Amino acid sequence: MSTTNALLFSSKITGTGSAFPENRLTNEELSQTVETSHNWIVERTGIQNRQISRRGNPNEYNSSLGALAATRALEMAGKKPEEIDQILYATCTPDTLVPSTACWLQKKIGANRAWAMDINAACSGFVFALATADQFIRTGQAKTSLVIGSDVLSAFTNWSDRTSCILFGDGAGAVVVEQTSSHSERRILSSHLSSDGNLWGLFHIPAGGSNQEVTPEIYQKNLHKMQMKGKEMFKSAVLTLTEFAVKALESNQLKISELDWFIPHQANLRIIEAVAKRLDFPMNKVLINIDRFGNTSSATVPSVLDENVRSGRIQPGHTVLLDVFGAGLTFGSLLLRWS
């Protein structure tokens, strides 16, 4: 594709959707299985509840939650599945290693014209996938993209580790992204992505990939479940979320006071409050769902976006900043003017 084309097009979100499993897991219920309490969890994380997929229930597979969120986003955009050119599915908890969860979703919604692939950037995945869709659309290689962020982290949670099992929930969010003129005011304005593989040890799942088979011994040691260094992760998140928010604003010559809404990744409410304070941004303009759903990994940002588009809080012309961090480590931000 020629570089001239790259100057002709931009992309904008025209539909949003989200979906969560039925089963709610309260702090009280968790405190019956590990040594914790409702008060500790609320004070230290801001989480009240999370929704957990029933393992083995086909309606609550990762791709099923993704398909429901995608169907809702397509309805809002007024698009049929066969009009989609590409499906980018952000997840670190795929249905199966092969085929990709994107292909499972394609089959479920009947998006027969699309090409489909997964993107794994852990909790940053949705912003990485949305930035990728934006690039394909800007170069004219796609007109309509379906971008999903969906994770079933409960399948990889060590339910006997109180420092991590209190944090996570399952869910999915999706957006339809369409081509618009590069002169359009309402579009994706910029994206900044980064990774630091040196920090792999802060959050990882050692076994279950091609390096390490899940033997009975590995299983007993829970090495096929997530291992997290919470305090280090916390510090890194505060620094990088702040850094990438500033990058997005500076590259668009925007002052923080010109931002209408801030949607950060949600791993702990105290991380979000610390970032808002550093940015000097009021908490009442930070959109959250961590209180009700916990950390839903790549689903967090699109599900918060969906909730606030549907409630009418996010209005055409509003400037919205998406800001993420995750295992890898991965970091990124994406600034958009709502369509």
Residues involved in catalysis: 123, 265, 295
Alpha helix positions (H), the chain:
3-8, 27-30, 38-45, 62-77, 101-109, 125-138, 162-165, 216-220, 230-251, 269-279, 290-293, 300-310
* Residue 320 sits in the site that holds ligand UT7 (CB under 6 A): no
DSSP 3-state assignment of 107?
A: helix
Site for ligand UT7 (CB under 6 A): which residue of 38, 108, 143, 162?
A: 162
Write each residue from 131 to 150 as x if it is in contact with ligand UT7 (CB under 6 A), else as -, in one continuous string: --------------------
Report the residue number, 86 or 266, with the smaller CB distance to ligand UT7: 266
Q: Which of 11, 45, 100, 303 binds ligand UT7 (CB under 6 A)?
A: 45
DSSP state of 53: P
Q: Which residue number is nearest to ligand UT7 in terms of Cβ?
A: 230
Q: How far apart are CA 48 and CA 289, in angstroms?
A: 10
Among 8, 23, 24, 40, the residue binding ligand UT7 under the rule CB under 6 A is 40
Contact indicator for 167, 300 with CB cutoff of 8 Å: no
Nearer to ligand UT7, 108 or 229 (CB): 229
CB of 332 to ligand UT7, least distance (A): 13
Site map 262..291 versus ligand UT7, x via CB under 6 A: -----xx-----------------------
- In a 3-state reduction of DSSP, which class is residue 123? helix
* By CB under 6 A, residue 19 contacts ligand UT7: no
Of residues 326, 334, 335, 338, which one binds ligand UT7 by CB under 6 A? 326
- Under rule CB under 6 A, residue 166 binds ligand UT7: yes
Q: How far apart are CA 51 and CA 26, in angstroms?
A: 9
Q: Which stretch binds ligand UT7 (CB under 6 A): 93-101, 104-112, 206-214, 224-232?
A: 224-232
Q: Cα angle vertex 166, ends 163, 170, to 5°?
A: 130
Strand partners, 107: none
Question: Nearest Cα to 163, choosing from 50, 49, 26, 44?
Answer: 44
> Which residues in 288-317 contact ligand UT7 (CB under 6 A)?
295
How many CB atoms sit inside 10 A of residue 204's CB? 15
In whole angstroms, the minimum distance from the beta carbon of 129 to ligand UT7 comes to: 16
Helix residue ranges per DSSP H, 252-322: 269-279, 290-293, 300-310
Report 94-123 residues binding ligand UT7 (CB under 6 A): 123
Q: Which of the stretches 87-95, 161-169, 176-184, 273-281 binds ligand UT7 when contact is defined by CB under 6 A?
A: 161-169
In angstroms, the CA 292 to CA 79 distance is 30
163 binds ligand UT7 (CB under 6 A): yes
> Which amino acid is present at 110?
G
Binding site for ligand UT7 (CB under 6 A): 36, 40, 44-45, 123, 162-163, 166, 203, 228, 230-231, 233-234, 237, 267-268, 295, 326
